[in-house]
Amino acid sequence: MAKLSPSILSADFSNLGADVIKASEAGADYMHIDVMDGHFVPNISFGASVMKSLDKYDTAGYDVHLMIEDPDKYIPDFVTEKTEFITVHQEACPHLHRTIQHIKSYGVGAGVSINPATPLSSLGEVLADVDLVLIMSVNPGFGGQSFISSALKKIVKLAEIRESMGYDFQIEIDGGVKMENVREIVEAGVDIVVAGSAVFGNGDIDNAVKDFLSAIR
Ligand code: DX5
Ligand code: ZN
């Protein structure tokens, strides 16, 4: 049984509260918060103030994905009572171990993500410390891209490593997840599925969430 984390990147920003409430009421487990700085990725999305504007609503907890350079500077801004995970990119963190400890010091789950071209071996020294590993199945920066299938091999391998080493992080996938491929993705060993355009881009958020939940639970 996997969980669903709809990415608000594909929500209607002029109606963000309403969209997020709809997805939460339909049963989404988390809200995926895609933060882009125009440096680490070639796009700018939004910052912590937009996320915090949702604090006043009864929504699923935040699953924050920082696609930014120098994330340590901004981690405290994303800590709220509703923050479940803060995930940084291995490629953006020269002192990844320190950054992971920094996230944990606020009592929220620490996640680390790798781009499609980054090997799993780059995470070997931190897998014992993290609460979540986010495998990117698109090159980060935009919603609505196609799933890169080599991510499935990474998922299978990561699940094997977790099993053999007795680690307990969650495995999350992000990018190009649709109703057509979500079962195969979950069967490969994913615990948390991110879906942006497939949830917020199809005009019926309630049914999109429910369809995903029935496919992954
Ligand atoms: C990509 C983001 C993803 C993206 C997913 O840079 O990290 O979370 O919004 O969007 P879809 O599901 O449309 O590929
Ligand atoms: Zn994301």
- Ligand 2 centroid to residue 68 C-alpha, Å: 12
Mean pLDDT of all residues in the chain?
A: 98
Per-residue model confidence (pLDDT) at position 13: 98
CATH fold of 3-216: TIM Barrel (3.20.20)
Ligand 2 geometric centre to CA of 113 (Å): 9
Annotated catalytic residue 19: no
Model confidence over 66-86: pLDDT tens digits?
999 999 999 999 999 999 999
Q: Are the CB atoms for 64 and 75 separated by under 8 Å? A: no
pLDDT tens per residue, range 14-37: 999 999 999 999 999 999 999 999
- Whose CA is closest to 194, among 18, 19, 27, 30? 30
Task: Say which of 19, 63, 131, 174 is annotated catalytic.
Answer: 174
The answer, yes or no, to whether residue 114 has pLDDT greater than 90, is yes
State the pLDDT at residue 56.
Answer: 98
Domain boundaries, the chain: 3-216
37 is annotated as an active-site residue: no
Nearest-angstrom CA–CA distance, 11 and 205: 9
Phi, psi of 144 (to 5 degrees): 75, 20
pLDDT digits (tens, 9 = 90+) for 131-179: 999 999 999 999 999 999 999 999 999 999 999 999 999 999 999 999 9
Burial of 145 (0-12, 13-18, 19+ CB in 10 A): middle
**C-alpha span between 173 and 114 (Å, rounded):** 10
Ligand 1 pocket test: which of 115, 197, 202 has the largest number of ligand atoms within 8 Å of its C-beta? 197
Residue 27: its pLDDT value, please? 98
Select which of 19, 29, 34, 63 is catalytic: 34
Which stretch of 83-87, 106-110, 201-205 has the lowest confidence by average pLDDT? 201-205
